[in-house]
Protein backbone atom coordinates (compact mmCIF):
# COMPACT_ATOMS: atom_id res chain seq x y z
CA UNK A 1 0.00 0.00 0.00
CA UNK A 2 2.95 2.36 0.43
CA UNK A 3 5.44 3.65 -2.12
CA UNK A 4 8.14 6.33 -2.32
CA UNK A 5 7.38 9.06 -4.85
CA UNK A 6 10.58 11.03 -4.36
CA UNK A 7 13.66 10.71 -2.21
CA UNK A 8 16.32 13.36 -1.66
CA UNK A 9 19.17 13.62 0.80
CA UNK A 10 17.02 15.08 3.58
CA UNK A 11 13.45 14.66 2.36
CA UNK A 12 11.20 11.83 1.21
CA UNK A 13 7.66 11.86 -0.21
CA UNK A 14 5.37 8.84 0.24
CA UNK A 15 2.08 7.76 -1.31
CA UNK A 16 -0.53 5.35 -0.01
CA UNK A 17 -1.84 3.23 -2.86
CA UNK A 18 -5.65 3.02 -2.79
CA UNK A 19 -8.68 4.25 -4.73
CA UNK A 20 -9.64 7.16 -2.47
CA UNK A 21 -9.32 10.65 -4.04
CA UNK A 22 -6.69 12.74 -2.20
CA UNK A 23 -7.79 11.86 1.34
CA UNK A 24 -6.86 8.51 2.86
CA UNK A 25 -9.76 6.18 3.71
CA UNK A 26 -8.95 6.80 7.37
CA UNK A 27 -6.59 8.95 9.41
CA UNK A 28 -3.37 7.41 10.66
CA UNK A 29 -0.26 8.18 12.72
CA UNK A 30 3.21 8.48 11.17
CA UNK A 31 6.17 7.10 13.14
CA UNK A 32 9.85 7.34 12.23
CA UNK A 33 12.19 4.94 14.01
CA UNK A 34 9.54 4.42 16.65
CA UNK A 35 8.90 8.12 17.38
CA UNK A 36 5.62 9.71 16.37
CA UNK A 37 5.99 12.50 13.81
CA UNK A 38 2.42 13.63 13.07
CA UNK A 39 -1.17 12.60 12.35
CA UNK A 40 -2.12 12.38 8.68
CA UNK A 41 -5.33 12.00 6.65
CA UNK A 42 -4.02 12.30 3.06
CA UNK A 43 -2.71 9.72 0.64
CA UNK A 44 0.51 11.67 0.04
CA UNK A 45 2.73 12.91 2.88
CA UNK A 46 6.37 13.86 3.43
CA UNK A 47 9.24 13.77 5.89
CA UNK A 48 11.87 16.50 6.10
CA UNK A 49 14.99 17.17 8.13
CA UNK A 50 16.46 13.71 7.58
CA UNK A 51 20.15 12.86 7.34
CA UNK A 52 21.85 12.12 4.02
CA UNK A 53 22.43 8.42 3.42
CA UNK A 54 20.43 7.69 6.54
CA UNK A 55 18.55 4.43 7.07
CA UNK A 56 15.09 4.76 8.59
CA UNK A 57 12.00 2.77 9.44
CA UNK A 58 8.64 4.34 8.64
CA UNK A 59 5.49 3.04 10.34
CA UNK A 60 1.87 3.95 9.71
CA UNK A 61 -0.58 3.08 12.45
CA UNK A 62 -4.35 3.34 12.22
CA UNK A 63 -7.51 1.43 13.01
CA UNK A 64 -7.30 -0.43 9.71
CA UNK A 65 -3.79 0.36 8.54
CA UNK A 66 -0.45 -1.02 9.64
CA UNK A 67 2.36 -0.38 7.18
CA UNK A 68 6.13 -0.55 7.68
CA UNK A 69 8.73 0.56 5.19
CA UNK A 70 12.50 0.62 5.47
CA UNK A 71 14.14 3.32 3.34
CA UNK A 72 17.45 5.06 2.81
CA UNK A 73 17.94 8.70 1.85
CA UNK A 74 20.25 9.70 -0.97
CA UNK A 75 23.76 11.02 -0.58
CA UNK A 76 25.14 14.45 -1.43
CA UNK A 77 28.55 15.99 -1.83
CA UNK A 78 27.96 18.83 0.68
CA UNK A 79 25.46 21.15 2.34
CA UNK A 80 25.98 24.91 2.70
CA UNK A 81 24.16 27.41 4.92
CA UNK A 82 23.19 30.48 2.88
CA UNK A 83 24.03 32.72 5.86
CA UNK A 84 27.72 31.82 5.46
CA UNK A 85 27.64 33.90 2.29
CA UNK A 86 26.16 36.92 4.02
CA UNK A 87 22.42 36.33 3.73
CA UNK A 88 20.62 37.97 6.65
CA UNK A 89 17.07 36.65 6.39
CA UNK A 90 15.39 39.47 8.28
CA UNK A 91 12.97 40.45 5.50
CA UNK A 92 14.57 43.92 5.27
CA UNK A 93 18.08 43.47 3.86
CA UNK A 94 18.55 42.70 0.18
CA UNK A 95 19.89 39.13 0.20
CA UNK A 96 20.10 38.77 -3.60
CA UNK A 97 23.88 38.96 -3.99
CA UNK A 98 24.52 36.67 -1.04
CA UNK A 99 22.13 34.01 -2.31
CA UNK A 100 23.28 34.20 -5.93
CA UNK A 101 26.92 33.98 -4.84
CA UNK A 102 26.12 30.91 -2.74
CA UNK A 103 24.42 29.28 -5.74
CA UNK A 104 27.40 30.07 -7.96
CA UNK A 105 29.90 28.61 -5.50
CA UNK A 106 27.89 25.53 -4.60
CA UNK A 107 29.65 22.37 -5.88
CA UNK A 108 27.76 20.02 -8.20
CA UNK A 109 25.58 17.71 -6.14
CA UNK A 110 25.43 20.14 -3.21
CA UNK A 111 22.53 21.49 -1.17
CA UNK A 112 21.97 25.16 -0.35
CA UNK A 113 20.20 25.35 3.01
CA UNK A 114 17.95 28.21 4.19
CA UNK A 115 17.30 28.23 7.95
CA UNK A 116 14.27 30.01 9.39
CA UNK A 117 13.99 33.63 8.25
CA UNK A 118 12.66 35.87 5.49
CA UNK A 119 15.14 36.20 2.64
CA UNK A 120 14.20 39.26 0.61
CA UNK A 121 15.54 38.82 -2.90
CA UNK A 122 15.40 39.89 -6.50
CA UNK A 123 15.34 37.20 -9.23
CA UNK A 124 17.76 34.29 -8.79
CA UNK A 125 19.22 31.89 -11.37
CA UNK A 126 19.66 28.24 -10.43
CA UNK A 127 22.18 25.87 -11.99
CA UNK A 128 22.50 22.16 -12.71
CA UNK A 129 23.04 19.51 -10.05
CA UNK A 130 21.86 21.48 -7.03
CA UNK A 131 19.24 21.32 -4.31
CA UNK A 132 17.71 24.40 -2.72
CA UNK A 133 16.21 23.53 0.66
CA UNK A 134 13.85 25.81 2.59
CA UNK A 135 13.49 24.73 6.21
CA UNK A 136 10.33 25.24 8.20
CA UNK A 137 9.67 29.00 8.68
CA UNK A 138 12.11 29.88 5.89
CA UNK A 139 10.65 32.25 3.30
CA UNK A 140 12.17 33.25 -0.01
CA UNK A 141 10.46 36.64 -0.47
CA UNK A 142 10.18 38.44 -3.79
CA UNK A 143 11.44 42.00 -4.17
CA UNK A 144 8.45 44.40 -4.32
CA UNK A 145 9.89 47.00 -6.75
CA UNK A 146 9.23 45.96 -10.37
CA UNK A 147 11.89 48.32 -11.73
CA UNK A 148 14.55 46.10 -10.14
CA UNK A 149 13.41 42.92 -11.94
CA UNK A 150 15.51 42.43 -15.11
CA UNK A 151 13.85 41.95 -18.49
CA UNK A 152 15.20 39.01 -20.49
CA UNK A 153 14.67 38.22 -24.20
CA UNK A 154 12.28 35.53 -25.30
CA UNK A 155 14.47 34.37 -28.19
CA UNK A 156 17.90 35.36 -29.50
CA UNK A 157 19.91 34.59 -32.62
CA UNK A 158 23.21 32.96 -31.70
CA UNK A 159 26.39 33.81 -33.57
CA UNK A 160 25.99 30.70 -35.72
CA UNK A 161 22.50 31.79 -36.74
CA UNK A 162 20.62 29.32 -34.56
CA UNK A 163 17.83 30.43 -32.26
CA UNK A 164 18.07 30.27 -28.50
CA UNK A 165 14.79 30.39 -26.58
CA UNK A 166 14.84 31.90 -23.11
CA UNK A 167 11.28 32.86 -22.22
CA UNK A 168 7.70 33.40 -23.19
CA UNK A 169 4.16 33.75 -22.00
CA UNK A 170 0.76 32.47 -23.11
CA UNK A 171 2.21 30.28 -25.83
CA UNK A 172 4.54 32.75 -27.52
CA UNK A 173 8.24 33.51 -27.28
CA UNK A 174 8.51 37.03 -25.90
CA UNK A 175 10.53 39.20 -23.57
CA UNK A 176 9.64 38.73 -19.94
CA UNK A 177 10.63 39.91 -16.52
CA UNK A 178 13.01 37.39 -15.04
CA UNK A 179 11.26 35.02 -12.64
CA UNK A 180 12.00 34.82 -8.94
CA UNK A 181 13.61 31.39 -9.47
CA UNK A 182 14.85 30.58 -12.98
CA UNK A 183 16.78 27.71 -14.53
CA UNK A 184 17.83 27.72 -18.18
CA UNK A 185 19.07 24.66 -20.11
CA UNK A 186 19.94 22.96 -16.81
CA UNK A 187 19.42 19.53 -15.28
CA UNK A 188 19.00 17.77 -11.95
CA UNK A 189 17.51 20.61 -9.89
CA UNK A 190 15.45 20.17 -6.73
CA UNK A 191 13.60 22.78 -4.65
CA UNK A 192 12.51 21.10 -1.44
CA UNK A 193 11.48 21.60 2.17
CA UNK A 194 8.50 22.75 4.22
CA UNK A 195 9.33 26.45 3.71
CA UNK A 196 7.75 29.04 1.42
CA UNK A 197 8.56 30.71 -1.90
CA UNK A 198 6.52 33.92 -1.86
CA UNK A 199 6.41 36.16 -4.94
CA UNK A 200 5.14 39.03 -2.79
CA UNK A 201 3.13 40.36 -5.73
CA UNK A 202 0.44 41.65 -3.38
CA UNK A 203 2.95 44.29 -2.23
CA UNK A 204 4.06 45.23 -5.75
CA UNK A 205 2.31 46.54 -8.86
CA UNK A 206 2.52 43.24 -10.77
CA UNK A 207 -1.23 42.69 -10.45
CA UNK A 208 -2.09 46.28 -11.49
CA UNK A 209 -2.32 47.54 -15.10
CA UNK A 210 -0.03 44.69 -16.14
CA UNK A 211 -1.10 44.84 -19.79
CA UNK A 212 0.79 48.13 -20.04
CA UNK A 213 4.12 46.62 -18.91
CA UNK A 214 7.04 46.56 -21.39
CA UNK A 215 7.38 42.77 -21.01
CA UNK A 216 5.43 39.76 -19.79
CA UNK A 217 5.21 39.39 -16.03
CA UNK A 218 7.58 36.98 -14.30
CA UNK A 219 6.65 33.57 -12.97
CA UNK A 220 7.42 32.45 -9.45
CA UNK A 221 9.49 29.53 -10.78
CA UNK A 222 10.43 29.22 -14.45
CA UNK A 223 12.34 26.24 -15.83
CA UNK A 224 13.26 26.48 -19.49
CA UNK A 225 14.51 23.44 -21.43
CA UNK A 226 15.58 21.65 -18.28
CA UNK A 227 15.75 17.96 -17.40
CA UNK A 228 14.95 16.27 -14.10
CA UNK A 229 13.38 19.09 -12.09
CA UNK A 230 11.69 18.39 -8.75
CA UNK A 231 9.69 20.65 -6.45
CA UNK A 232 8.81 18.90 -3.19
CA UNK A 233 6.93 20.11 -0.16
CA UNK A 234 7.25 23.87 -0.49
CA UNK A 235 4.44 26.40 -0.29
CA UNK A 236 4.52 28.49 -3.48
CA UNK A 237 2.39 31.62 -3.40
CA UNK A 238 1.61 35.14 -4.61
CA UNK A 239 3.39 34.99 -7.95
CA UNK A 240 3.26 38.02 -10.29
CA UNK A 241 1.63 35.66 -12.86
CA UNK A 242 1.80 31.88 -13.37
CA UNK A 243 3.37 30.29 -10.33
CA UNK A 244 5.24 27.21 -11.61
CA UNK A 245 6.04 27.18 -15.31
CA UNK A 246 8.13 24.31 -16.71
CA UNK A 247 8.81 25.29 -20.33
CA UNK A 248 9.97 22.64 -22.87
CA UNK A 249 11.28 20.45 -20.05
CA UNK A 250 11.72 16.72 -19.57
CA UNK A 251 10.96 14.77 -16.40
CA UNK A 252 9.35 17.25 -14.02
CA UNK A 253 7.97 16.23 -10.63
CA UNK A 254 5.73 18.25 -8.32
CA UNK A 255 5.12 16.41 -5.05
CA UNK A 256 3.17 17.40 -1.93
CA UNK A 257 3.30 21.10 -2.87
CA UNK A 258 0.78 23.76 -1.84
CA UNK A 259 0.24 26.61 -4.33
CA UNK A 260 -1.91 29.58 -3.36
CA UNK A 261 -2.90 33.08 -4.41
CA UNK A 262 -5.91 35.33 -3.71
CA UNK A 263 -9.04 34.52 -5.69
CA UNK A 264 -8.94 37.90 -7.43
CA UNK A 265 -5.26 37.78 -8.42
CA UNK A 266 -4.89 37.87 -12.24
CA UNK A 267 -3.40 34.93 -14.19
CA UNK A 268 -1.97 33.26 -11.09
CA UNK A 269 -2.27 29.72 -12.47
CA UNK A 270 -0.71 27.24 -10.07
CA UNK A 271 1.11 24.89 -12.47
CA UNK A 272 1.46 25.37 -16.23
CA UNK A 273 3.66 22.71 -17.83
CA UNK A 274 4.22 23.85 -21.41
CA UNK A 275 5.47 21.50 -24.14
CA UNK A 276 6.93 19.17 -21.52
CA UNK A 277 7.47 15.43 -21.67
CA UNK A 278 7.10 13.39 -18.50
CA UNK A 279 5.35 15.46 -15.82
CA UNK A 280 4.11 14.14 -12.48
CA UNK A 281 1.86 16.28 -10.28
CA UNK A 282 1.03 14.15 -7.25
CA UNK A 283 -0.30 14.93 -3.80
CA UNK A 284 -0.54 18.68 -4.36
CA UNK A 285 -3.06 21.26 -3.20
CA UNK A 286 -4.06 24.35 -5.19
CA UNK A 287 -6.12 27.47 -4.50
CA UNK A 288 -5.41 30.32 -6.94
CA UNK A 289 -6.86 33.17 -8.98
CA UNK A 290 -6.94 31.32 -12.31
CA UNK A 291 -6.56 27.71 -13.46
CA UNK A 292 -5.09 25.27 -10.95
CA UNK A 293 -3.30 23.18 -13.57
CA UNK A 294 -3.15 24.35 -17.20
CA UNK A 295 -1.35 22.06 -19.64
CA UNK A 296 -0.04 23.92 -22.67
CA UNK A 297 2.04 23.50 -25.84
CA UNK A 298 2.24 26.96 -27.44
CA UNK A 299 0.17 28.87 -29.95
CA UNK A 300 0.17 28.03 -33.65
CA UNK A 301 3.54 29.63 -34.44
CA UNK A 302 5.50 27.54 -31.94
CA UNK A 303 3.22 24.58 -32.56
CA UNK A 304 4.35 24.57 -36.18
CA UNK A 305 7.96 25.60 -35.70
CA UNK A 306 8.93 23.48 -32.69
CA UNK A 307 6.04 20.98 -32.61
CA UNK A 308 6.64 19.86 -29.02
CA UNK A 309 3.42 18.36 -27.64
CA UNK A 310 2.62 18.02 -23.97
CA UNK A 311 3.16 14.29 -23.48
CA UNK A 312 3.10 11.69 -20.69
CA UNK A 313 1.54 13.75 -17.91
CA UNK A 314 0.19 12.20 -14.70
CA UNK A 315 -1.97 14.11 -12.21
CA UNK A 316 -2.95 12.11 -9.14
CA UNK A 317 -4.14 12.57 -5.56
CA UNK A 318 -4.44 16.36 -5.86
CA UNK A 319 -6.87 18.77 -4.19
CA UNK A 320 -8.09 21.87 -6.01
CA UNK A 321 -9.77 24.23 -3.55
CA UNK A 322 -10.44 27.15 -5.88
CA UNK A 323 -9.62 28.20 -9.43
CA UNK A 324 -11.20 28.90 -12.80
CA UNK A 325 -10.49 25.34 -13.91
CA UNK A 326 -9.24 22.48 -11.77
CA UNK A 327 -7.43 20.64 -14.59
CA UNK A 328 -7.29 22.58 -17.85
CA UNK A 329 -5.89 21.78 -21.27
CA UNK A 330 -5.18 24.95 -23.22
CA UNK A 331 -5.89 27.24 -24.52
CA UNK A 332 -2.37 27.54 -25.94
CA UNK A 333 -2.03 23.95 -27.20
CA UNK A 334 -0.68 24.46 -30.72
CA UNK A 335 1.37 21.25 -30.56
CA UNK A 336 -1.33 19.23 -28.84
CA UNK A 337 -1.66 17.16 -25.68
CA UNK A 338 -1.47 13.38 -25.55
CA UNK A 339 -1.18 10.60 -22.98
CA UNK A 340 -2.70 12.47 -20.04
CA UNK A 341 -4.03 10.69 -16.96
CA UNK A 342 -5.93 12.55 -14.24
CA UNK A 343 -7.02 10.32 -11.38
CA UNK A 344 -7.88 10.28 -7.65
CA UNK A 345 -8.36 14.04 -7.44
CA UNK A 346 -10.78 16.18 -5.44
CA UNK A 347 -12.11 19.50 -6.78
CA UNK A 348 -13.88 21.95 -4.47
CA UNK A 349 -15.39 25.27 -5.50
CA UNK A 350 -13.68 25.67 -8.87
CA UNK A 351 -15.59 27.31 -11.71
CA UNK A 352 -15.03 24.27 -13.92
CA UNK A 353 -13.67 20.86 -13.13
CA UNK A 354 -12.16 19.22 -16.21
CA UNK A 355 -11.69 22.09 -18.66
CA UNK A 356 -10.49 21.87 -22.26
CA UNK A 357 -10.23 25.05 -24.28
CA UNK A 358 -9.08 25.63 -27.85
CA UNK A 359 -10.29 27.43 -30.97
CA UNK A 360 -9.83 27.85 -34.69
CA UNK A 361 -6.34 29.18 -35.24
CA UNK A 362 -4.51 26.86 -32.85
CA UNK A 363 -3.35 24.81 -35.83
CA UNK A 364 -3.39 21.30 -37.27
CA UNK A 365 -0.75 20.11 -34.78
CA UNK A 366 -3.21 20.89 -32.00
CA UNK A 367 -4.29 17.29 -31.50
CA UNK A 368 -5.68 16.18 -28.15
CA UNK A 369 -5.83 12.42 -27.78
CA UNK A 370 -5.55 9.61 -25.23
CA UNK A 371 -6.98 11.81 -22.48
CA UNK A 372 -8.35 10.00 -19.43
CA UNK A 373 -10.14 11.41 -16.38
CA UNK A 374 -10.80 8.76 -13.75
CA UNK A 375 -11.96 8.51 -10.13
CA UNK A 376 -12.57 12.19 -9.41
CA UNK A 377 -14.73 13.83 -6.74
CA UNK A 378 -16.16 17.33 -7.22
CA UNK A 379 -18.00 19.54 -4.73
CA UNK A 380 -19.55 22.88 -5.61
CA UNK A 381 -17.98 22.98 -9.07
CA UNK A 382 -20.15 25.19 -11.27
CA UNK A 383 -19.65 23.13 -14.45
CA UNK A 384 -17.91 19.78 -13.87
CA UNK A 385 -16.98 19.10 -17.52
CA UNK A 386 -16.32 21.82 -20.12
CA UNK A 387 -14.83 21.18 -23.57
CA UNK A 388 -14.72 24.40 -25.57
CA UNK A 389 -13.53 24.74 -29.17
CA UNK A 390 -14.73 28.36 -29.29
CA UNK A 391 -12.48 29.94 -26.66
CA UNK A 392 -12.40 33.71 -27.11
CA UNK A 393 -9.64 34.99 -24.84
CA UNK A 394 -5.98 36.01 -25.13
CA UNK A 395 -5.82 36.68 -28.89
CA UNK A 396 -6.19 39.84 -31.00
CA UNK A 397 -8.81 38.16 -33.24
CA UNK A 398 -10.83 36.81 -30.31
CA UNK A 399 -14.03 38.55 -31.48
CA UNK A 400 -13.61 37.84 -35.20
CA UNK A 401 -16.15 35.95 -37.30
CA UNK A 402 -13.51 33.29 -37.95
CA UNK A 403 -13.56 32.44 -34.26
CA UNK A 404 -17.30 32.59 -33.64
CA UNK A 405 -18.91 31.49 -36.91
CA UNK A 406 -21.06 28.37 -36.48
CA UNK A 407 -20.74 27.60 -40.20
CA UNK A 408 -18.75 24.59 -41.35
CA UNK A 409 -15.53 26.32 -42.44
CA UNK A 410 -12.83 24.73 -44.62
CA UNK A 411 -10.34 22.52 -42.79
CA UNK A 412 -6.83 23.93 -43.20
CA UNK A 413 -3.53 24.23 -41.33
CA UNK A 414 -5.23 26.40 -38.68
CA UNK A 415 -7.84 23.83 -37.67
CA UNK A 416 -7.33 22.02 -34.34
CA UNK A 417 -8.30 18.38 -33.85
CA UNK A 418 -9.85 16.69 -30.85
CA UNK A 419 -9.50 12.94 -30.35
CA UNK A 420 -10.88 10.65 -27.63
CA UNK A 421 -11.90 11.66 -24.11
CA UNK A 422 -12.98 9.31 -21.34
CA UNK A 423 -14.70 10.40 -18.13
CA UNK A 424 -14.90 7.50 -15.68
CA UNK A 425 -16.02 7.21 -12.08
CA UNK A 426 -16.87 10.88 -11.46
CA UNK A 427 -18.97 11.94 -8.48
CA UNK A 428 -20.05 15.58 -8.65
CA UNK A 429 -22.33 17.24 -6.10
CA UNK A 430 -23.78 20.75 -5.86
CA UNK A 431 -23.11 21.70 -9.48
CA UNK A 432 -24.87 24.85 -10.68
CA UNK A 433 -24.48 25.80 -14.33
CA UNK A 434 -24.17 22.63 -16.42
CA UNK A 435 -23.33 19.01 -15.79
CA UNK A 436 -21.32 18.88 -19.00
CA UNK A 437 -20.87 21.35 -21.84
CA UNK A 438 -18.96 19.97 -24.83
CA UNK A 439 -18.95 22.13 -27.96
CA UNK A 440 -16.87 20.98 -30.94
CA UNK A 441 -16.23 22.49 -34.36
CA UNK A 442 -18.59 21.56 -37.22
CA UNK A 443 -15.70 21.09 -39.67
CA UNK A 444 -13.60 19.03 -37.23
CA UNK A 445 -15.85 17.30 -34.69
CA UNK A 446 -14.47 15.71 -31.55
CA UNK A 447 -13.82 12.04 -32.33
CA UNK A 448 -15.27 10.40 -29.24
CA UNK A 449 -16.56 11.20 -25.75
CA UNK A 450 -17.21 8.39 -23.27
CA UNK A 451 -19.04 8.78 -19.95
CA UNK A 452 -18.80 5.73 -17.71
CA UNK A 453 -20.02 5.54 -14.10
CA UNK A 454 -20.70 9.28 -13.68
CA UNK A 455 -22.99 10.85 -11.08
CA UNK A 456 -23.80 14.59 -11.15
CA UNK A 457 -26.29 16.42 -8.94
CA UNK A 458 -27.17 20.10 -8.76
CA UNK A 459 -27.37 22.39 -5.76
CA UNK A 460 -30.87 23.30 -4.59
CA UNK A 461 -29.96 26.99 -4.81
CA UNK A 462 -28.07 26.75 -8.12
CA UNK A 463 -27.51 30.06 -9.86
CA UNK A 464 -27.10 30.66 -13.62
CA UNK A 465 -23.70 31.24 -15.17
CA UNK A 466 -21.62 30.91 -18.32
CA UNK A 467 -20.48 27.28 -18.87
CA UNK A 468 -17.73 28.10 -21.41
CA UNK A 469 -15.99 31.29 -22.49
CA UNK A 470 -17.15 31.95 -26.05
CA UNK A 471 -18.60 34.80 -28.06
CA UNK A 472 -22.33 35.30 -27.57
CA UNK A 473 -22.30 32.95 -24.57
CA UNK A 474 -25.63 32.37 -22.87
CA UNK A 475 -26.19 31.83 -19.20
CA UNK A 476 -27.33 28.38 -18.20
CA UNK A 477 -28.58 26.81 -15.01
CA UNK A 478 -28.93 23.12 -14.16
CA UNK A 479 -28.22 22.15 -17.75
CA UNK A 480 -27.78 18.42 -18.29
CA UNK A 481 -25.34 16.80 -20.74
CA UNK A 482 -24.84 19.18 -23.67
CA UNK A 483 -22.80 17.83 -26.62
CA UNK A 484 -22.49 19.35 -30.09
CA UNK A 485 -20.24 18.24 -32.94
CA UNK A 486 -19.01 14.99 -31.38
CA UNK A 487 -18.78 12.03 -33.76
CA UNK A 488 -19.25 9.21 -31.27
CA UNK A 489 -20.99 9.58 -27.90
CA UNK A 490 -21.09 6.72 -25.42
CA UNK A 491 -23.00 7.11 -22.16
CA UNK A 492 -22.89 4.22 -19.68
CA UNK A 493 -24.01 4.30 -16.05
CA UNK A 494 -24.71 8.03 -15.80
CA UNK A 495 -26.99 9.50 -13.15
CA UNK A 496 -28.19 13.12 -13.17
CA UNK A 497 -30.18 14.78 -10.40
CA UNK A 498 -31.82 18.20 -10.42
CA UNK A 499 -31.59 18.90 -14.17
CA UNK A 500 -33.93 21.52 -15.59
CA UNK A 501 -35.28 20.35 -18.94
CA UNK A 502 -33.89 17.46 -20.96
CA UNK A 503 -31.10 15.45 -19.39
CA UNK A 504 -29.31 15.00 -22.74
CA UNK A 505 -28.99 17.59 -25.49
CA UNK A 506 -26.89 16.19 -28.32
CA UNK A 507 -26.61 17.48 -31.87
CA UNK A 508 -24.43 16.90 -34.94
CA UNK A 509 -23.17 13.45 -34.01
CA UNK A 510 -22.69 10.22 -35.98
CA UNK A 511 -23.45 7.66 -33.27
CA UNK A 512 -25.01 7.83 -29.82
CA UNK A 513 -25.01 4.89 -27.41
CA UNK A 514 -26.67 5.03 -23.99
CA UNK A 515 -27.06 2.30 -21.38
CA UNK A 516 -28.11 2.65 -17.76
CA UNK A 517 -28.69 6.39 -18.15
CA UNK A 518 -31.05 7.58 -15.43
CA UNK A 519 -32.32 10.79 -13.88
CA UNK A 520 -33.35 10.63 -10.22
| Residue 520: pLDDT over 60 | no
Our answer to whether residue 290 is catalytic in this structure is yes
Contacts of 457 (CB under 8 A, 6+ apart): 428, 429, 430, 431, 496, 497, 498, 520
349-360 pLDDT, tens digit per residue, is 999 999 999 999
Last residue of a domain, one of 40, 72, 104: 72
- Degrees to nearest 5, angle at CA 368 with 365 and 370: 135
Asked if 394 and 344 count as a contact pair (C-beta separation under 8 A), the reply is no
From the list 290, 351, 430, 484, the catalytic residue is: 290
Asked if 291 and 266 count as a contact pair (C-beta separation under 8 A), the reply is no
Note whether 158 and 9 are same-domain residues. no
255-310 pLDDT, tens digit per residue, is 999 999 999 999 999 999 999 999 999 999 999 999 999 999 999 999 999 999 99
Which element (helix H / strand E) includes 301? Answer: helix 300-305
Mean pLDDT, residues 146-173 taken together: 95
Contacts of 104 (CB under 8 A, 6+ apart): 127
Our answer to whether residue 324 is catalytic in this structure is yes
Q: Residue 115 sits in a domain of what CATH number? A: 2.160.20.10
60-112 pLDDT, tens digit per residue, is 999 889 999 999 999 999 999 999 999 999 999 999 999 999 999 999 999 99
Strands 367-379 vs 504-507: parallel, antiparallel or unpaired:
unpaired
Mean pLDDT, residues 135-140 taken together: 98
Contacts of 23 (CB under 8 A, 6+ apart): 41, 42, 43, 346
Note whether 55 and 174 are same-domain residues. no
- Give the integer Cα–Cα distance in Å for 38 and 32: 10
From the list 324, 351, 374, 439, the catalytic residue is: 324
- Give the integer Cα–Cα distance in Å for 338 and 333: 11
Last residue of a domain, one of 31, 49, 72: 72
Query: Considering the entire predicted model, what is its pTM?
Result: 0.97
Mean pLDDT, residues 407-424 taken together: 96
Range of the structural domain that residue 52 is part of: 2-72
Mean pLDDT, residues 426-444 taken together: 98
The DSSP output letter for 133 is E
| Residue 519: pLDDT over 60 | no
For the chain, the domain total comes to 2
Q: Residue 40 sits in a domain of what CATH number? A: 2.60.40.10
Last residue of a domain, one of 199, 229, 257: 257
Cβ-based neighbour number of residue 57 at 10 Å: 12
Cβ-based neighbour number of residue 390 at 10 Å: 21
Alpha helix ranges (H) inside 23-108: 96-105
% of the chain exceeding 90 in pLDDT: 97
Which string of b and e fits 460-488 if b means at least 16 CB within 10 Å? eebeeebbbbbeeeeebebbbbbbbbbbb
Note whether 101 and 224 are same-domain residues. yes
Q: What is the pLDDT of residue 395?
A: 85
Nearest CA to 358 out of 334, 323, 325 is that of 334
Amino acid sequence: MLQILYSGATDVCFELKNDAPYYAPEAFEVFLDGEKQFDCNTNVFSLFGLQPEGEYTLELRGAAIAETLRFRTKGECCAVDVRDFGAVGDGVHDDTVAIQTAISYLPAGGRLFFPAGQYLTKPLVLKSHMTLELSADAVLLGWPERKDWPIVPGVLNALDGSELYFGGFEGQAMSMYESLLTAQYAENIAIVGPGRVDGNAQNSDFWINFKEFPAARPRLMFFNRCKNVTVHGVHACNSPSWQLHPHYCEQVGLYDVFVSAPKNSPNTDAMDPESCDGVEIIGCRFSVGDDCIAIKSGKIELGKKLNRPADHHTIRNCLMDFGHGAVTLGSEIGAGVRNLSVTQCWFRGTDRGLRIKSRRGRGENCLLDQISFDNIRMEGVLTPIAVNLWYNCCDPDRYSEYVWSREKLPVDDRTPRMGRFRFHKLVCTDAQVAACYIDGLPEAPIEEVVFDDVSISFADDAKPGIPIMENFAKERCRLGLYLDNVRRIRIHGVSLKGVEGKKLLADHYESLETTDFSED
